[in-house]
Structure 1
Amino acid sequence: MTAVAQTIYTEADYLLMEAKAGYKSEYFRGEIFMMAGGTPNHNRIKENLSGEIYTTLKNKKSCRSYSSDQRIHIPENTLYTYPDVVVVCGPNQYSARDHNTITNPTIIVEVISRSSGAYDRGDKFRLYRDISSLQEYVIVNSLNVGVEIYRRTEDNHWLLAEDAYKLSDSVTIQSIEATLLLSDLYAGTEDVKEGWITPEE
C-alpha cells in the first residue's frame, strides 16, 4: 500500500486560509480541523448563555464577552480555536500573527454535544490550561441538563468547583460574579432531561 503524505500547515497558512474560508476550522501543530455546526439545542443554549453573561457584564467596564465567532490562540501549544463563549477581563491581548485573535481569555464556556463532548472535556481542556489568564472553564451539556465549572486554584491546579444537574439549580461563575439559573440556560430547548449524560455515550 502507498502511504499518503500528511500536509503540514504553518500558522500563517492557516490564518490565510481561514480568512478566505466560509466555515471555521481549528489549528493544532500543523493540522487543520473543520469545526462541525451545532444542533438546535446547542445553539439555543449558546444564545441563552451569551444573553445571561452579557446582562451580567453590561455595567462592568473591565470585562466583556464574545460569541463563537471570536478566535483565540494559545501560543504555548499552537491551538487556534473558537470557544462557544469567551469572557476577557482587562485589556484584550492579541496574537502576534493576527490582531483579530485573542490570547488572554478569563473565562471559556463550551456547550458540549455528542460529537465534541470527549474532546471538550479531555484534550481541549488540557490545552486550555496552558492559558495563564484563564480562571474558569464552564462546560454545559446540550443533551441533558448539566453544568460543570472548573476553577484554577492559587497553586495552579484545576478543580471541579461547581456542578448542577436540575433545572431548578443555579451555578456561579465566580470571576464575574454571575449566578446563572439552569432553567434560563436551557430555555427553549427540546427533549432535554435532568441528569447528566456524557455526550459520547
Structure 2
Amino acid sequence: MSAQLQPYITVEEYLAAERAANRDTDGKHEYYQGEVYAMSGASRQHNLLVTNLIVGLDTRVADTCNVYPSDMRVHVASNGLYTYPDVVVTCGDEEFLPDAYLDTLLNPVLLVEVTSRSTAQYDQEGKFLLYRNIANLRHYLLVDSQRVHILCITRLEGDTWNFREYRQLTDQVDLTALHLEVPVSEIYRKVPLPPANGAL
C-alpha cells in the first residue's frame, strides 16, 4: 500500500468512488479499516507475468472455474479489506457483495500477487495475514518479477498452511486444489529478467 489518501471514509463512499473512477486517470485503490490506499502502476515484467498466469491458468482450470485479471475486486469480510489481486480464480458458485454490481468477489480459491522490490514484503506478510481469513482460499501465489522465484502457500486444513518455493524454470507449480500444474517456464515466458548474479 502507498500513501494514505484520506484519514477515513466509509465502505459505501469507497465503493461509490471506485465504481465511478476512470481507470486510466484515477487508478485503483485498496480499502482497509476506513483508509484508502492508491495502488501503484505495473511494470512491463509485471504485466507479462500476469498475462502468462491468466492464460496458463485459464487453459487448465475446469469449466466450473473462472480466471479474472486485476480489475476484479476481492473483499475479505472478516477484516474489511477490499483489494485487487493480480489474478483471481474461483470455482463453483461465486459469491459477491449483496448488490447489483457483481464486481466484488467474496470466495476466491486462488489469489496471485506479482511482487516487486517495493511490494514483496507486504504481499508476503501483510496481505497473507489478511487473505488467509477467506474461508474458500486454497492457494496464494507470490510471483517475483525480478527473478525466477514463486512462493506457493497452500491451505492444508483449518489455518494450517504449507509454503513451497519454485526457483527453476523446469519446475511445475502444483495447485492441488485445482487439480493442475503450471510450468514455471510458462509463467516466465518472454519476461526479461536481470542476470542471475543480480547485476543490472
Q: Same fold (TM over 0.5)?
A: yes
Which residue pairs with 1:175 in the alignment? 177
- TM-score normalized with structure 2 length: 0.88
- Structure 1 pair 192/174, CA: closer, same or farther in 2 (3 Å)? farther
Paired with 1:80 and 1:131, the residues of 2 have a C-alpha distance of 12
SS of residue paired to 2:105 = coil
Structure 1: gaps of 5 or more residues: 1-5
Which residue pairs with 1:73 in the alignment? 75
Q: Does the 8 Å contact 1:137/1:151 carry over to 2?
A: yes
Structure 2: gaps of 5 or more residues: 1-5
Give the partner amino acid of 2:13.
D
Which residue pairs with 1:143 in the alignment? 146
- Structure 1 pair 155/76, CA: closer, same or farther in 2 (3 Å)? closer
Shift of 1:159: 1.8
Which residue pairs with 1:63 in the alignment? 65
Shift of 1:95: 1.4
Which residue pairs with 2:18 in the alignment? 18
* 1:43 to 2:47 alignment: yes
- State the superposition RMSD in angstroms: 1.6
Q: Does the 8 Å contact 1:146/1:194 carry over to 2?
A: no
Which residue pairs with 2:7 in the alignment? 7
Paired with 1:114 and 1:37, the residues of 2 have a C-alpha distance of 14
Paired with 2:33 and 2:98, the residues of 1 have a C-alpha distance of 17
Which residue pairs with 1:100 in the alignment? 103
Output one character per residue of 1:111-134: Cα deviation in whole Å (capped at 9) or x when no partner.
111221111001111000110110
Paired with 2:51 and 2:143, the residues of 1 have a C-alpha distance of 12
SS of residue paired to 2:104 = coil
Which residue pairs with 1:125 in the alignment? 128
Equivalences, count: 188
Q: Residues 103-114 of structure 1 correspond to what in structure 2 (within 5 A)?
A: 103-114=106-117
Q: Mean alpha-carbon deviation: is it higher for 117-126 or for 17-26?
A: 17-26
Q: How high is the sequence identity, in percent, across the aligned residues?
A: 35
- Structure 1 pair 48/193, CA: closer, same or farther in 2 (3 Å)? farther
* 1:34 to 2:35 alignment: no
Q: Does the 8 Å contact 1:167/1:194 carry over to 2?
A: no
Output one character per residue of 1:13-63: Cα deviation in whole Å (capped at 9) or x when no partner.
000111122311000000000100111001101100000001002xx2221
Output one character per residue of 1:162-183: Cα deviation in whole Å (capped at 9) or x when no partner.
3210112221111112211111
Paired with 1:194 and 1:95, the residues of 2 have a C-alpha distance of 44
